[in-house]
Amino acid sequence: MANPVLHIKDSYYFEVPKALWKSQRADRHDFPEVWVSLDPAFQSWEFSRLHKGLVEAEVMLPEASQAKEDWQHWVHAEHSRNATPFDQFLENLYEQAHTAAAKSNKSVDADGLLAAAEKSSNPLLKTYSSFIVRRHEPDWAGSDWASLRRSAGDVAAYQGDSHTADWEASKIEHYNEHLSGKILIPQPFGKLRNLYEKDSGFCISRFMLIELIVAVILCVLFSWLAGRLRGAGAPRGKLWNLLETFVLFIRDQVAEPAIGHHDAHRFTPILCTMFFFVLGCNLFGMIPWTGAPTGAFGVTFGLALVTFATVVVSGVRQFGVAGFFLNMVPGMDLPIYLLLPIGAGILLIELLGLAIKHLVLSIRLLANMVAGHLVLLGVMGLAFGAHAAASFTAPDVPGWQWPVTACIAVLGSTLFSILELFVAFLQAYIFAFLSALFIGAAIHHH
């Protein structure tokens, strides 16, 4: 989890300077459950319980020492598997066997899985074939295996086990150093695998909270604005004028040119919602220690799906189901024997284009927001790189490189932050304008 890109990804914590949020946990019972689950001592305890439970369930496994060695070797083979528990190792072997059986055109049953395990280049599939076959049984996988996994990975049971050794003071200090500056988000509805991945249930992430905050702010602001507009008086105050200026801009410069004067008022509310929500999420990326939710594909894809749904529903309401699809095909004065195949081909192309342009709508917003954050990360990285390089230079070598690089990094970051502020507004406008174009194309005859 040392990848610096993770600092602009979604996570299940907010990161602030360590001095503002100091972790001062005294023993293992004070640490959050997700952190305890990543501890090697807990994972060894979990491994022993799970291995014992599987053996008692008459699943043929290697001796505990050999199974533990196989698991640890698999974990250390790739950085992404760091702190992956034993049950995930077994699940991975089952998935490999299942995929191999499906690719070999064999039926994915017990015999097919055994044959795939025997022929696989991975010797672990053969070694753990007994588990793979048992795991494929729906009744066992859904009850016994699930129960074994829950029981083995019960952090509360580990915390209450008096036979387990307490953590050493050096380990607690090390963990406190890692957790300082990380404000963990409570997870009442789910369980985390680590601070970046969920294990089960519904887990609340940093971007989810930011999106909720943006939504609440928009609801409060525009409820207030609607109350003022009902009075039919002249706009008074900076905030009222600012909000009304934006709304009129979306109506007059986005909705009307793309959709037409007659229908623009119907779609102005949803276009305003898209514009302000995207803008709010983008601007949160300018606030230290938060992040821009529009830098996550799930968010931009969800926004594009809203546009797609609006396009389809509006087109169907305007022309009917058949008329919506027939409207994609331009009128052609051709004989029927040419019109049918050519028209069908054009319809397929248009349907594919409809899906692609909405996918591109989400990727365009994502790429622009992520690119800006990566550039800022790279510019700031110059200062840290120069500082690290300076620590390896001889004492008699002048250290002018660090202050010069630091000045360049600060100046560059400031200029790119100004550019990011402009991009935040620009991308919100582009998203709303393209959405308006797609809606306009759906509700008008070609």
Instruction: Write the DSSP string, 30-60.
Output: GS-HHHHHTSHHHHHHHHHHHHHHHHHTT--
Tens digits of residue pLDDT in 6-36: 456 789 999 999 999 999 999 899 999 999 9
Q: Do the beta carbons of residue 402 and residue 386 sit within 8 Å? A: yes
For range 261-283, the mean pLDDT: 93
Task: Give the residue carrying structure tokens 């007059």.
Answer: 252
pLDDT digits (tens, 9 = 90+) for 296-318: 999 999 999 999 999 999 999 99
175-233 residue pLDDT tens: 999 999 999 999 999 989 889 888 888 999 999 999 999 999 999 999 999 888 887 67
Task: Give the position of tokens 């928009």.
Answer: 218
Give the integer Cα–Cα distance in Å for 422 and 368: 12
pLDDT at 4: 46
CA-to-CA distance for 63 and 127, rounded, in angstroms? 11
Q: How far apart are CA 285 and CA 178, in angstroms?
A: 24
Domain spans of the chain, in order of start: 23-179, 209-443
DSSP 3-state of 365: helix
Is residue 276 over pLDDT 90? yes
pLDDT at 104: 76
Q: What rounded mean pLDDT belongs to the chain?
A: 87
Residue 403 has a pLDDT of: 76
CB contact at 8 A, 274 and 435? yes
Q: How far apart are CA 115 and CA 122, in angstroms?
A: 13
Banded model confidence at residue 83, pLDDT cuts 50, 70, 90: confident
The 3-state DSSP class for residue 3 equals coil
Model's pTM, two decimal places?
A: 0.84
| Lowest-confidence region among 31-35, 66-70, 211-215, 392-396 | 392-396
The predicted pLDDT at position 326 comes to: 84
What tens digit of pLDDT does each residue of 411-444 get? 888 888 888 889 999 999 999 999 999 999 888 8
Higher pLDDT, 396 or 146: 146
Q: How confident is the model at residue 1 (pLDDT cuts 50, 70, 90)?
A: very low
